[in-house]
Structure 1
């Protein structure tokens, strides 16, 4: 089922952007745990439900907690049900890739006759509903995650470069509002950057490109996302960056200051300064 915030059912459904219910909540905390070196991931979902009528149906095993996982890149779509308010769902390497949506529900497993809740909106006063198996009782908006493919280098692949004729010469800017962080260059600078990057790959001086562009860009991104983690958490690059910080032993997003992030960016990029060939050494051997 696709989540549509304006969708209505013939019966009340507990969800955060609807007034079908009052004085109760349905919240789900979802934690993805990646398997190192692969696209394997285990999703851990902890359900918190406060409506007594729905809880009673779960206790009678006429309703259950449910997690729907879908991935358009691999055409995977499946759900897992549980009478326990915790679902742990391991998925192997190759099952998921790129964007994944995880949607929590509470659904009926059997016919429920004359269902009623004290928390319904007053518009439903005096009403009851008989629900068939599979009816939605509660749902959360889908959580979006990005699963990195095994051959991705998470630090640099969060970036893409574009030319922009509105960009001032000799400057670049970061656009953080897409699935990649876009570095925008003036057209002349863009082509100069591409030529320099090609030469750097060929002659082994790529670390200079990292220090001149990617390193300050990464510091900029880290500083910005620390200030507004919730505003960016749904984007592809956010999960890649979060994973890179964890692998480098750095503070998680939202918990470090700007000065510390300069060092963290160097760790994520695998100490590019320390690996740079010295120009003097090159001149001596030329």
Structure 2
């Protein structure tokens, strides 16, 4: 059995956008448990399947629930059968690394003749005949981040540099370097560096410097993520996005996404108010 997101099926498939079934939902929730030291990985899953006909096929063993796993960095691709309706699956160290795609799938173990659960769209003229191996339900793609890249502090992905060409009091972001570079004028750069060294100044730097810089990066990735893949900052930044549930290509609010990546930086400003009231 092969699976491709571009595949169009001649039979009804339960999925978010197909409309092949009049009712029903299929998806999974994944919880990652990772041994950073060894690279071994365990994934817990919880399945939601509310289409009664397909659910009955799974519960009677006539269909299987699994997950299509794809990792570009390790060239690993497989269809992994999963326990119903929940369970754990383990991956040895090195099998998966960095960005990993998980796509829940239900497929038939036997031929199915004259099947009509009562929820198939009329355009398929039910009952329908299905073959062994046919995919009958597809969940949404889930992206997880495996490995240490996602643990890199946001400051380590960026660097601050001075430039006489940048007007004082303003910032520019340079992406075509190994690290995302925030450029500032001489005096502005000096002020930022002094604030970074002060405990009370760190929240100011995070909100006034890093937050707009992260927004600039997200804006650039929305329109041309592939062009930045050769740069060293791209892998840890993308891993952090995956770990925080941020998708630069589809998320509409770059402000909301930037705040997720920086762990709600505005909350750090409370510290300044508290110290000022002492």
Task: Label 1:42 to 1:144 Cα distance change in 2 as closer, same or farther (>3 A).
Answer: same
* Structure 2 gap segments, 5+ residues each: 216-221, 223-236, 246-258, 272-278
Q: Check whether the contact 1:103–1:140 (CA below 8 A) recurs between aligned residues.
A: yes
1:220 aligns with 2:230: no
Distance 1:46 1:9 in 2: 26
Aligned length: 226
Task: Label 1:94 to 1:135 Cα distance change in 2 as closer, same or farther (>3 A).
Answer: same
Which secondary structure state, in structure 2, belongs to the residue aligned with residue 96 of structure 1? coil
Aligned counterpart, 1:128: 128
Distance 1:169 1:117 in 2: 68
Distance 2:17 2:75 in 1: 29
- TM-score computed with the length of structure 1 as normaliser: 0.61
Q: Check whether the contact 1:106–1:136 (CA below 8 A) recurs between aligned residues.
A: yes
Which secondary structure state, in structure 2, belongs to the residue aligned with residue 13 of structure 1? coil
Distance 1:56 1:240 in 2: 34
Which secondary structure state, in structure 2, belongs to the residue aligned with residue 47 of structure 1? strand
Q: CA deviation at 1:38?
A: 4.4
* Structure 1 gap segments, 5+ residues each: 225-230, 243-251, 265-286
Q: Check whether the contact 1:39–1:93 (CA below 8 A) recurs between aligned residues.
A: yes
Q: After TM superposition, list the pairs within 5 Å mapping 1:110-149 onto structure 2.
A: 110-132=110-132, 134-149=133-148
Q: After TM superposition, list the pairs within 5 Å mapping 1:1-286 onto structure 2.
A: 1-4=3-6, 7-82=7-82, 84-132=84-132, 134-149=133-148, 153-159=152-158, 170-172=169-171, 182-185=180-183, 208=197, 215-216=206-207, 220=211, 235-239=238-242, 259-261=266-268
Distance 2:238 2:145 in 1: 8
Q: Check whether the contact 2:107–2:134 (CA below 8 A) recurs between aligned residues.
A: yes
Distance 1:258 1:149 in 2: 22
Worse-matched range after superposition: 154-163 or 78-87: 154-163
Distance 1:67 1:98 in 2: 18
Q: State the Cα RMSD in Å.
A: 4.6
Task: Label 1:155 to 1:115 Cα distance change in 2 as closer, same or farther (>3 A).
Answer: same
- TM-score computed with the length of structure 2 as normaliser: 0.63
Q: CA deviation at 1:33?
A: 2.1
